[in-house]
């Protein structure tokens, strides 16, 4: 079960609204949604939580790039909303690197043989069997490359009252504790 909400900072404190993420497909969509809720380009926080698995906080300040924190990146990879947050940049990958490698392999026709080299049929059949398994291994390697713990900007809430060390310790009811540290527990509760 998912919960998503926006907290927008105003002169009078925080305003909360529940958020429908059905039309959100990219981080850019999510950032635009946050900016629409912003009052005078002030800070907007987007909370996303998958019960007992992970939570994410996206901070948008005016036109600046969004800052992202995910409590458990490995768990978030198994979620469509988590995949939105786990950008190539956040994961330390070159943008589009996987697409580029696949395109190069297709272009070059990398099958382990040179152009003039004969293809050894028994090895080729064996390679196809291994290839099926290696596809699964590649998927596992992709998951292994994503840390099982926190990922992102651990200091994104420090200036708002939640130090980095406390953010890293949060597990269950994390969004309630974050809102409490920000002085926004009551407004978040109205949309929960």
List pLDDT tens digits, range 79-129. Answer: 989 989 998 888 888 776 555 555 545 555 555 544 555 555 444 444 444
- Contact (Cβ atoms closer than 8 angstroms) between residue 72 and residue 149: yes
Instruction: For residue 30, give Cα distances in angstroms to 24, 119, 120, 126, 129.
Output: 6, 49, 51, 45, 41
- CA quadruple 84, 87, 90, 93: dihedral positive or negative? positive
Cα torsion at 177, 180, 186, 187 (round to 10°)? -90
- Contact (Cβ atoms closer than 8 angstroms) between residue 76 and residue 82: yes
User: Which pTM value belongs to this model?
Assistant: 0.74
| Two structure tokens written together for 84 | 């939105």
pLDDT tens track, the chain, 192 positions: 889 999 999 998 999 998 888 889 999 999 999 999 988 889 999 999 998 899 999 999 999 999 999 999 999 999 989 989 998 888 888 776 555 555 545 555 555 544 555 555 444 444 444 444 444 444 444 444 687 889 999 999 999 999 999 999 997 789 999 999 999 999 999 998
pLDDT at 45: 96
């Amino acid at each position: 079960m998912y919960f998503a909400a926006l907290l927008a900072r105003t002169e009078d404190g925080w305003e909360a609204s529940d958020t429908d993420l059905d039309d959100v497909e990219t981080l850019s969509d999510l950032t635009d949604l946050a900016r629409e809720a912003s009052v005078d380009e002030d800070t907007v926080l987007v909370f996303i939580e998958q019960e007992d698995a992970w939570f994410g906080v996206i901070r948008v300040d005016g036109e600046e790039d969004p800052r992202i924190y995910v409590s458990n990146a490995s768990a978030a990879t198994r979620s469509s909303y988590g995949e939105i947050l786990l950008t190539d940049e956040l994961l330390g990958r070159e943008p589009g690197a996987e697409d580029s490698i696949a395109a190069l392999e297709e272009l070059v026709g990398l099958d382990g043989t040179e152009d003039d080299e004969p293809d050894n049929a028994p090895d080729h059949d064996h390679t196809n069997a291994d290839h099926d398994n290696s596809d699964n291994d590649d998927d596992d390697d992709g998951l292994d490359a994503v840390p099982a713990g926190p990922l992102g900007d651990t200091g994104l809430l420090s200036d708002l009252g939640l130090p980095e060390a406390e953010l890293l310790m949060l597990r269950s009811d994390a969004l309630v504790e974050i809102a409490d540290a920000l002085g926004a527990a009551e407004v978040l509760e109205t949309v929960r």
